[in-house]
Amino acid sequence: MAELKPARVFEQFAKINQIPRPSKHEEQIISYLQQFAKDRGLDCKTDETGNVLIKKPASKGYEKLATTILQSHMDMVTDKLVDVEFDFYKDPIQTYVDGEWLHAKGTTLGADDGIGVAMELALLDSDDLQHGPLECVFTRDEETGLTGAFGMKEDFMTGKYLVNLDSEDEGQIFVSCAGGINTTATFDFTREDAPKDCFFMQAALKGLTGGHSGDDIEKKRANAIKILARFLYMEQEKMDLRLAQWNSGRMHNAIPRDGKVIFAVPFDKKEEVKVDWNVFSSDVDDEYHVTDPNMVWSLESTDAQSVMPKTISEKFILALQAVDNGVFAITQDKELNGLVETSSNVASVQSEATKVVIVSSQRSNVMSNLRNMANTVKAVMQLAGAEVLQNDGYPAWNMNPHSKLVKITVDAYKRLFNKEPEVKGIHAGLECGLFSEKYPGIDMVSFGPTLRFVHTPDECLYIPTVQMVWDHLLEVLKNIPQK
């Protein structure tokens, strides 16, 4: 990546993309960071959770500045195209340039948040840059539970100012984020033989756009689970339909792009189902022709197998038809400019021999409405007979109207680019929410280069914005207040 600018940042990004770092399996990248610090004689510590902090002294002439924390997460979402052979625990990410965009070959790129990690490493590796004292923090398992931020002790970081490098739109400076809760519903059952004279079919859908369930939820992108549920609900209303298998979605924080369902219908109804499928697929193609123009539909016969009990099958389909999905409320706070306030995303359905599990995520920057949204989803699943578990969630990060760092960041942007940045909140969750609880009074902002289709195999990084964000970061660091 030597031809990409800034070369020192892309050099670090190329190196870390050789290192497997799935969420909850960051051991190799942790070892790499520890050795990176040791090789450069920098102080490094790792906490019990696995977060890594590397200190770098101020450059000459900047010793009086307050310590700045730079923070990114070391893990990445691991998603790939269904027909791509790739082992995220062993294989390096393979990247390529298409015009001004950097992509990966059939997998997630890892720029979320590898490009933030790369910027921190480039700063640590350089001796010709101007900055005050730095604490470069790399948290683990942000994507599947914010484990690193949750486990961090209150004395791990000492700086007063924190720049989070986990945002995805250059020119936007984030000053607040949503809180979130995950809801898991489990339907237990004992399989049984299908009724006599049944015909088994597999309905499959792929090629959806997908995306981040926070940042992209307002874009009206199709959810593969909800679409398949719509079809099965309509057919169930007309005939004795029995579910056998349902597998769709992989990550709790992504809009599902594909899915497969195996079900049985009376033999004399098979042609009616085929006609209904053709009509339904045509209607949905039209419904999502702007956001999801590349849907691929298939309906075919398949081998007979055991099925879920009738009551489980019926209630499961009813629950997926009924459960909220998408935007629930828009903020009325003028300073946040129409930000999505509250949403829910049905993220995955996975069936096994004796159970089928639905995972969904709820988000809001109003904590009372977050609980309301989570309880709404929980209630639907409880009515259907599921056992429902919810995690403790993570808090929202509320805007600080008196932030010195926001002013410094905005002023630096205007000096560099002669235009106003957009100061806003983000509907996705950031670790800043937890930091605001653990470190009261810490002053934070979040910004980063432009990424598109994160959490999907289409994830890509807009190369010119990396130089812009790098220049912006360096300008901010030179203007941090004195101690």
How many CA atoms lie less than 13 Å away from 360 in the CB half-sphere? 29
Neighbours of 322 (CB within 10 A): 15
Give the 3-state secondary structure of residue 229. Answer: helix
Residue linked to tokens 């790499």:
32
With CA atoms as reference, report the closest residue to 441 among 91, 239, 162, 44: 162
The CA distance from 182 to 17, in Å, is 29
Residue 343, token pair as written in the block: 């949403």
The CA distance from 138 to 328, in Å, is 33
Active site residue 420: no
Q: How far is CA 128 from CA 13, 62, 72, 296, in A?
A: 20, 13, 22, 52
Neighbours of 296 (CB within 10 A): 11
Q: 75, 79, 235, 443: which is the annotated catalytic residue?
A: 75
With CA atoms as reference, report the closest residue to 157 among 175, 139, 131, 137: 137
Q: Which helix (H) or strand (E) holds 168?
A: none
Contacts 24+ apart (CB under 8 A), 380-385: 380/319, 380/322, 380/323, 380/324, 381/183, 381/185, 381/319, 381/323, 383/319, 384/185, 384/187, 384/315, 384/316, 384/318, 384/319, 385/187, 385/311, 385/312, 385/315
The answer to whether 396 and 365 have CB atoms below 8 angstroms apart is yes
The CA distance from 475 to 312, in Å, is 59
Backbone angles phi, psi at 8, to 5 degrees: -65, -30
| Strands 198-206 and 296-301, bridge-based pairing | antiparallel
The CA distance from 260 to 204, in Å, is 4
The torsion defined by the Cα of 468, 470, 476 and 482, in degrees rounded to 10, comes to -170
Which residues is 180 bridged to in the sheet? 363, 394
Q: Which helix (H) or strand (E) holds 372?
A: helix 367-383
Active site residue 471: no
Q: 79, 113, 120, 142: which is the annotated catalytic residue?
A: 142
Residue 325, token pair as written in the block: 């999905």
By annotation, the residues acting in catalysis are: 75, 142
